[in-house]
Structure 1
């Protein structure tokens, strides 16, 4: 009997279909964010040219048509709405996020200056959350009803802590009380520890809730029993076998978690007087500098979809069944 070799296109096609769907979804998310950003500018109360001129002069008053004409020409406000929308989308495709109303600079230049401190804060918070969460789950999950319930209760409390309140408590205890860290600002490692903890602790609690149920379910699977019968120690079984499978749930939420750290940075950077995208966003909202607000919204959407696509690529390494 002749043995036919499998058609490689049959094995590749499902993967291509899956990635095509994911890329299509990513494009829709970014397009939706860009469209919402444009509509938000149109929804601004009053005339946009008047708002810009008032912002530049620092005086709120009615403006004549002669005064508004240069502003309308500079930003293309006299063009039809559809034309403005197409220019907005095409500009984003070219990497043009617009020009700041207040600073008269490209939005990208303004935002790019604030990306490094926010990126450092978000990355540190994610790392801390992913260190604290597995350690806590390994310590308390599947250790008996009382220990497991206590561990779950701690996770629930952490997940519900408001970041502004937690930030204030951390400042009172570790900065003002013990003097271990700077009260506000600060550079280097000392200046980022408390802000990162204010973001990481609630995030660790939330990710722990997502991990615990799956972790305790996997503990009862046959392959775990088989590993124990082969002589594997308890810690080895929990880390190498159980945690690997249970990590799929929190890994799925990591894309959301990154967005949560960026939104949380709005509060944390304000509480700790840190430079970053969050503080820039607050300042732009207060001054009605909509191009900066919309630019940050679009960039956040881009980062969100990029992280989720990267996580999709990591799933097969955690669970080979996902390759088919």
Structure 2
């Protein structure tokens, strides 16, 4: 079967154009991923609205019961002003349009229970939670990378020991780690305070609690790629040029092995932001965890919705940043952009 010669010629030509214009290709890829991120965020907002709309229980009744402190049935005459005030009596599509429009203006609504702006409530509590999550992610990387360099690609026994340690770390429950750290370092040795706050000393134990399991997951993903890369031809070539084993591992192999860990970090942010709910409870630490648990218990839909949308927004933005970091860490992606 004959093959059109123009097709054969177009392939190297397109590759040559891509190599001559790497910045344009990177910009196009970034713009495409921004569009994908916006679509994902719109999906999260839509699903949140649908879930809150179809939940059992009349929202006007719940709001009246929260404000009055009584759980009783309400008449239509009592519910009518609340439905009109919050737009609950309007068609679902109209409510959805108003909901999205308010979000685009930064309006997350008003807390039914606290009668305050959801944005203000979250703004007061987001700093401790985000600090804890970011600190845990950074500490997990500090644990995982040196451990992988020390144990990966150094023989079967050392590799098996390193992998087994990571598996154990990844499987440890966060609440168990938190309680154990409290008993040993706060109650027993009295190195850290028992009741959590936002100071450095109050943040150490919660950070370690979140970082240990995450370091296990990161170590496993980095180790797998590290072992695979050690068998690549360019590693043998680098050694043949006289580069030391440590230099090859740190300068060449590790750079490729970090990519799965970067991918996992995007998931880790969402996991950490949700995992702080439990850790903040164990350490009596201020943050979004306490207000989210209280909002769910009291069916404060506006506050729950605000927390969910905030987590979705942070997750999407951080993954977008990580996608851009790929282009810096792995030069092969620049030509494919």
Q: Normalization by structure 2: what TM-score?
A: 0.90
1:308 aligned residue: 319
Q: Does 1:297 align with 2:308?
A: yes
2:218 aligned residue: 207
2:281 aligned residue: 270
1:221 aligned residue: 232
Pairs within 5 Å for 1:78-97: 78-97=89-108
* Offset at residue 283 of structure 1 (A): 1.2
Pairs within 5 Å for 1:8-19: 14-15=25-26, 17-19=28-30
1:31 aligned residue: 42
Contact 2:276 2:289 in 1 (8 A): yes
Pairs within 5 Å for 1:107-256: 107-256=118-267
Match of 1:55 among 63, 66, 69: 66
1:318 aligned residue: 329
User: 2: CA distance between counterparts of 1:55 and 1:76?
Assistant: 18
SS of 2:197's equivalent in the other structure is coil
Contact 1:185 1:272 in 2 (8 A): yes
* Offset at residue 88 of structure 1 (A): 0.6
User: 2: CA distance between counterparts of 1:187 and 1:20?
Assistant: 38
What value does the CA root-mean-square deviation take over the aligned residues? 1.9
Go from structure 1 to structure 2 and tell me whether the alpha carbon gap of 1:7 and 1:124 turns closer, same or farther (over 3 Å shift). Answer: closer
User: 2: CA distance between counterparts of 1:47 and 1:70?
Assistant: 14
Contact 2:128 2:198 in 1 (8 A): no
Q: Normalization by structure 1: what TM-score?
A: 0.93
Structure 2's unaligned 5+ residue stretches are 1-12
Q: May I ask how many residue pairs the two structures share in their alignment? A: 320
User: 2: CA distance between counterparts of 1:280 and 1:225?
Assistant: 55
User: 2: CA distance between counterparts of 1:320 and 1:11?
Assistant: 10
User: 2: CA distance between counterparts of 1:179 and 1:63?
Assistant: 53
Contact 1:156 1:206 in 2 (8 A): yes
Structure 1's unaligned 5+ residue stretches are none
User: 2: CA distance between counterparts of 1:10 and 1:128?
Assistant: 38
User: 1: CA distance between counterparts of 2:50 and 2:330?
Assistant: 42
